[in-house]
Structure 1
Amino acid sequence: MISGTKLKLFCYQGVFENDFCVFDAPSLEEADMVQLGSDDIEDNLEMQIAAYRCYKLFKGLANVKRLQVTNGSLEFLASAEELVSRLPSLPNLKHLAINEHEYAADFACIGLLKILQNSPCLESIDFKKGVYLSTYDENNDWTLDPVPPCFLTHLKTVTIRLFSASDQELHVVKTLLRTARILEELRFSSKLSREIQNVLLSLREESACDITFSKLNLF
């Protein structure tokens, strides 16, 4: 049990082998949840137990302003469908970073989508290892439904640090430009080839969002 009315930073790195619970932390500003070792989980029961431990820990971070999670943590939550609907509201969250050590984040992960839905004041998202769309098909008919409230009122900046211009990635970009109504800047690395940069710039159409290319550290 972790309690601290003056707690401002909380970091967890592990495999959810034990129960941890954060409570009474109204001043929490930043949290980092790094899930490790999911490949070592061999059966559904172990996955369910880990998912509940992940949920219990996540529930205590409801007041956080800046949150970094791994895609593995989000997939843990999604593996127990009954938990997704119970994820807490994050009324103070301003910045969300998805940082998987080896893999890009799945934009269609229901754990991620629920966090977006529950973060009405979210201003920025940082996909540190890139983003893809597991539900993509050649019909290009995947849509973000429902659109998270923050996409209409607060989300101003999205950063995608790794990008190869695959069909899945381009569909995510199109979705962001179409649904994030007040998005001001979509940021990519300046190391992208001129060809890929031109492809991205061509997607703007009628969007007022600036697509920029700058030096981005890949961590």
Structure 2
Amino acid sequence: MSSLKTLTVYYDLFGPDAMLTCTIKIDAVNLVTFSITSYLTVQFVLVNLDSLVDAHVDFVSFDPFLQQIAGPCTINLLRGFGNMKTLRLSNDTVECLSYAKTTLHLLPMFNNLTYLDVDLGATESTHEALMDILQKMPKLETLYIPTGFHPDVCMNGKGWILNSVPCCFKSCLKLFCISDFDGGVAEMELLKFVLKNATVLGEIQLFYTDAHLIVKLEVWLNLLASETTENLNSHSA
């Protein structure tokens, strides 16, 4: 359909079960915006989406078994988005990708992508999957986490350091933003990782509701600055 520029796909979670295993082909050469909310097991075949600029993917599932099955479906869908500039991923979508960790290398390089909006949930596996996904985004300029981290997540930083630093951190990431920031362990560890590795970062935006958090942040940033200075002095010695 050559005239179609915006497409929204929504599958009702209470719809007929026959839709769960169907295959949907989308051929839209001038499509600019694509948004999808669907069950994870629906197969999408994307053709001629070279004009796509903005994509939003929300693969909904409350069943861990379905999430494991749906990894290939998610990767197959994202492979059709190679030219987009903006991508928004729900937590369920990232969690699905975390189940397909051994095949994440099948994702294409998103060489035109400059903006990523990614919702992270209550499992550390989604955070590890995020680092793998970022490896496929060499020109990313903005990383936005809209809902902060789930308060039950307690991370010691291993999820951020086990993977190699994404190349976008070293060359082009300019803006890092977290909404609903509460200063939890996982958020602080990610913030520390970004400050340490994003060498061209120009701005960090943290949105929070607790007025006391600013004091905690100031103390933490001062400690981090002292730690960085000590490390530099030890290397120079």
- 1:149-201 CA-partner distances (Å, limit 9, x unpaired): 100111011110011112222111111111111111110126331x3113223
- 2:225 counterpart (202, 205, 219): 205
Q: Which has the higher helix share?
A: 2
- 1:68-103 CA-partner distances (Å, limit 9, x unpaired): 001211121221233212111100001000136xx4
Which amino acid in 1 is paired with 2:47?
F
Partner of 2:94: 74
In 1, the alpha carbon distance for the partners of 2:122 and 2:39 equals 19
Does 1 or 2 have the higher relative contact order (CA < 8 Å, sep 6+)? Answer: 1
Partner of 1:160: 178
Partner of 2:213: 196
TM, length-normalised to structure 1? 0.80
Question: Which stretch of structure 1 is more off in the superposition, 128-137 or 58-67?
Answer: 128-137
Pair 1:111–1:143, CA change in 2 (3 A): closer
Pair 1:107–1:187, CA change in 2 (3 A): farther
* Corresponding pairs, count: 198
Q: Percent identity between the aligned chains? A: 26
The question of 1:109 aligning with 2:127 is answered yes
The 3-state SS of whatever aligns with 2:199 is coil
Q: Is the CA contact 2:123–2:153 (under 8 Å) kept in the aligned structure 1?
A: no
| Matches for 1:1-219 after TM superposition, within 5 Å | 1-36=25-60, 38-41=61-64, 43=65, 46-99=66-119, 103=121, 109-131=127-149, 136-137=155-156, 143-144=160-161, 145-189=163-207, 191-193=209-211, 195-202=212-219, 203=221, 205=225
Q: Is the CA contact 2:29–2:48 (under 8 Å) kept in the aligned structure 1?
A: yes
Q: Is the CA contact 1:87–1:114 (under 8 Å) kept in the aligned structure 2?
A: no
